[in-house]
Amino acid sequence: MKIISGGVCAAKGFLAAGMHCGIRRNKSKKDLALIYSQVPAAAAAVYTTNLVKGAPLTVTREHLADGKAQAVICNSGNANTCNAGGVQVARDMCALTAKALKLKPEDVVVASTGVIGQPLSLEPIAAAMDALASQLSDAGSPDACQAIMTTDTCPKELAVEFELGGKVCRIGGIAKGSGMIHPNMATMLVFLTTDAAISAEMLQKALSGDIRNTFNMLSVDGDTSTNDMVTVLANGLAGNPEITGENEDFFRFMKALNTVNVHLCRMLAGDGEGATKLLECRVTGAGDLDTAKTVAKSVICSSLTKAAMFGADANWGRVLCAIGYSGARVDVDKIGVRFRSPAGTVAVCENGVGIPFSEEEAKKILLEKEIEILVDLGSGAEAATAWGCDLTYDYVRINGDYRT
């Protein structure tokens, strides 16, 4: 398996485009993205756990009931959430896309991201649709990636190449998300494409299984969004024997999917609103997997720990505090904590108590852009990883006037 370029267009038969249509006032920012498979594809998706859901999720769920899709339309700048008539607007977006691509509206996935509670006008989307469709290209992933961004400071895309049944296959994806990100889905949109042949049922099984260890272990600010969605389309053009059960090829596919999703998770966490550092909490020595996940999530979500990392302060007591209120059953007297970065590693806690360490060396380690918080629970063999970022002054500045 190797990482390659191409994003959502790396897999055979996938094209993409992105442009400014007028939803966002800033004309320099793209706000409408289109992804298209040249042949019908198996499709699967997972959605936010928030009870308040954007209208596009309702429509997408309806359209994917048959496990098939051929295109994705997504706008940024407006979430189309909590609006009278929002569901109809989402359906109309699908109809416009279907007309431009000569598809059925039911074969279109629709997504929106941006401000909640403001009506989404269909006019700029309708006016731009033919031009957007004409720009579809196998080099269009960067444009589509930019068009789904809101407060993101950088695009997020990745693809990998691997083999199934002697055939070269590819999985690629683009993602957006910077704030309003919390475990169990977040204000992020992730669109994945693959040319592997896999049934819709197994595709859903793979995606649902993988997000438990990837996107559900990601947090920026503790807020779970209304519009989160991860979708994957598989068009089978790689020509491998179709995966219809849990065989060796299925697990190879799962590994490739996980590779893409972990990389996208790290990109999303590192680009958290106002963030200066990517935080990765690795928990080992847990008695069971649920305990490992609970502890990792609690540490990565701790505002005090996040603030300490921003200040390069090796305040390990905040890590233990987060473990203590996580709800996980742990033996505090066995916990060890280390901080690690490209600048080195420093042990700060053993058997639940502090140990002597150099504050100067610790600060040097914590000044790096990527920091690992290593927690050993000393009670078993299970492990888990969660991703997040530091908490900075800019997070408040960005969200203080996000709507206005």
Residue 38: which pLDDT band, with cuts at 50, 70 and 90?
very high
For residue 246, the model assigns a pLDDT of 97
Q: What whole-number percentage of the chain has pLDDT above 70?
A: 92
For residue 395, the model assigns a pLDDT of 73
For residue 178, the model assigns a pLDDT of 60
Provide mean pLDDT across the span 60-71: 97
Give catalytic residue positions.
187
For residue 271, the model assigns a pLDDT of 79
Provide mean pLDDT across the span 28-42: 97
Q: Is the pLDDT of residue 129 over 70?
A: yes
For residue 333, the model assigns a pLDDT of 97
Domain spans in the chain, listed from the N-terminal domain onward: 2-270, 278-400
Domain spanning 2-270, CATH architecture: 4-Layer Sandwich (3.60)
Q: Could you give the CA distance from residue 60 to residue 37 in angstroms, rounded to a whole number?
A: 17
- Give the CATH number of domain 278-400: 3.10.20.340
Residue 187: which pLDDT band, with cuts at 50, 70 and 90?
low
Provide mean pLDDT across the span 28-34: 96
Do 2-270 and 278-400 share a fold? Answer: no
For residue 177, the model assigns a pLDDT of 78
pLDDT in tens, 193-234: 999 999 999 999 999 999 999 988 887 655 555 567 899 999
Structure tokens at 163: 């083999």
Q: Is the pLDDT of residue 181 over 70?
A: no
More confident residue, 271 or 56: 56
For residue 151, the model assigns a pLDDT of 77
Q: Is the pLDDT of residue 398 over 70?
A: no
Q: What whole-number percentage of the chain has pLDDT above 90?
A: 77
**Mean pLDDT score of the chain, rounded to an integer?**
92
pLDDT in tens, 239-255: 999 999 999 999 999 99
Check: CB of residue 302 under 8 Å from CB of residue 281: no
Q: Is the pLDDT of residue 51 over 90?
A: no
Highest mean pLDDT: which range of 23-32, 344-353, 395-404: 344-353
Residue 95's CB is within 10 A of a number of other CB atoms, namely: 16
Provide mean pLDDT across the span 385-403: 78
Provide mean pLDDT across the span 357-370: 97
For residue 225, the model assigns a pLDDT of 54
Q: Is the pLDDT of residue 186 over 50?
A: no
* 3-state SS, one letter per residue, for the chain: CEEECCHHHCCCCEEEEEECCCCCCCCCCCCEEEEEEEEEEEEEEEECCCCCCCHHHHHHHHHHHHCEEEEEEEEEEECCCCCCCHHHHHHHHHHHHHHHHCCCHHHEEEEEEEECCCCCCCHHHHHHHHHHHHCCECCCHHHHHHHCCCCCCCCEEEEEEEEECCEEEEEEEEEECCCCCCCCCCCCEEEEEECCCECHHHHHHHHHHHHCCCHHHECCCCCCCCCCEEEEEECCCCCCCCECCCCHHHHHHHHHHHHHHHHHHHHHHHCCCCCCCEEEEEEEEECCHHHHHHHHHHHHHCHHHHHHHHCCCCCHHHHHHHHHCCCCCCCHHHCEEEEEECCEEEEEEECCEECCCCHHHHHHHHCCCEEEEEEECCCCCEEEEEEEECCCHHHHHHHHCCCC
For residue 185, the model assigns a pLDDT of 45
